[in-house]
């Protein structure tokens, strides 16, 4: 699905001057290609304006001068809101039409399973009653989907995976732009989810699709029940997550991170490889790998224990 840049500008009620080319999607300043639209709404990304390869950028007039000559500036003082409006143009068209999957040898599929179009199943895939696999879903060899698993369109699941009942993969991330009147405008989530090999996901988990690009669960990760992974997160290889862990959008976890029950992250931060977050730990900033953290906000566990001891002594004195 592509649109002329002039057509997009018209839909967004923006003036257009420049080369009229076909636009095939939206991406960040860093990742956008010469056939994609991007946006600028945060000063911390100013350094990315001169180097972006985007065909056009939604940008305020003051910062348009930093764009390369090859990039068209779509001038607006509400770039994030215009991004939300533009995202609807590129949303995957939803339909109740059913398709017939391509299946490798040895697959077992319950009669009540439903498929979208262009679904591909590897060899020896088992899909139990009540599952739904949307358009363009791919499932690798020897993977097991327990009853009532939902894989939204574009989801890629690797080989030797186990996904337990009630889990939803590829649902929309929680993204909205806000008008000056305080109204909330949906940002359509046009990315997808990639689950690599040997991943196990517990019951009633939710893994959101990316805004653009991918939410990525890397190989060997094991997830307990009732876990939320928000849009554009990246979970490193062999990560362990106990029940009720929550990752806010664009959190990045290195390999072999351990997250205790009910621990969580704020968005747009990194947790280094081999870090451990104790149960109910709240990560509010990026953390070094190879250490154990506890508390809210999460700090190194030795420091947290000293803090708890001091607080207890104060309580006893009172």
Burial of residue 100 (CB within 10 Å: 0-12, 13-18, 19+) is exposed
Six-digit token string for 215: 């939410």
Closest to 37 measured CA to CA, from 16, 269, 192: 16
CB 48, CB 59: distance < 8 Å:
no
State the catalytic residue, choosing from 198, 231, 238, 268: 231
- Give the number of other Cβ atoms within 10 Å of residue 202's Cβ: 21
With b for 16 or more beta-carbon neighbours within 10 A and e for fewer, the 142-169 pattern comes to bbbbbebbbbbbbbbbbbbbbbbbbbbb
Active site residue 164: no
Spatial neighbors of 313 by CB under 8 A, at least 6 apart, are none
Six-digit token string for 67: 């764009």
Going by their DSSP bridges, the two strands 22-23 and 3-4 should be labelled as: antiparallel
Residues 141 and 249: their CA atoms lie apart, in Å, by 30
Please list the alpha-helical segments (H only) found in the chain. 5-11, 79-87, 301-317
219: helix, strand or coil: coil
Closest to 47 measured CA to CA, from 67, 77, 76, 33: 67
Give the residue numbers marked as catalytic.
Answer: 231
């Amino acid at each position: 699905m592509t649109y002329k840049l002039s057509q997009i500008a018209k839909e967004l009620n923006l003036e257009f001057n420049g080369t009229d080319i076909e636009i095939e999607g939206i991406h960040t300043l860093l990742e956008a290609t010469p056939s994609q639209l991007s946006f600028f709404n945060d000063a911390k990304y100013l350094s990315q304006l001169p180097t972006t390869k985007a065909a056009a950028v939604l940008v305020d007039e003051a910062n348009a001068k930093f764009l390369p000559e090859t990039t068209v500036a779509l001038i607006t003082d509400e770039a994030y809101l215009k991004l939300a409006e533009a995202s609807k143009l590129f949303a995957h068209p939803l339909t109740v039409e059913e398709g017939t999957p391509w299946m490798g040898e040895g697959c077992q599929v319950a009669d009540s399973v439903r498929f979208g179009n262009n679904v591909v199943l590897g060899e020896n895939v088992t899909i139990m009653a009540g599952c739904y696999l949307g358009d363009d879903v791919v499932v690798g060899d020897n993977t097991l989907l327990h009853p009532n698993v939902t894989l939204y369109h574009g989801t890629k699941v690797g080989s030797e995976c186990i996904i337990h009942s009630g889990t939803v993969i590829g649902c929309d991330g929680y993204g909205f732009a806000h008008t000056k009147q305080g109204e909330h405008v949906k940002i359509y989530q046009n990315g997808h989810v990639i689950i690599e090999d040997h991943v196990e996901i517990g019951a009633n988990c939710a893994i959101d699709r990316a805004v653009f690009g991918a939410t990525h669960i890397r190989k060997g990760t094991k997830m307990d029940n009732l876990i939320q992974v928000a849009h554009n997160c990246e979970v490193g290889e062999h990560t362990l997550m106990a029940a009720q862990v929550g990752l806010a959008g664009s959190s990045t976890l290195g390999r072999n991170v351990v997250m205790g029950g009910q621990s969580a992250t704020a968005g747009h931060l990194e947790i280094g490889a081999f870090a451990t977050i104790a149960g109910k730990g709240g990560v509010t900033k990026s953390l070094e790998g190879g250490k154990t953290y506890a508390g809210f906000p999460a700090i190194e566990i030795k420091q947290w224990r000293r803090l708890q001891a001091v607080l207890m002594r104060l309580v006893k004195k009172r």
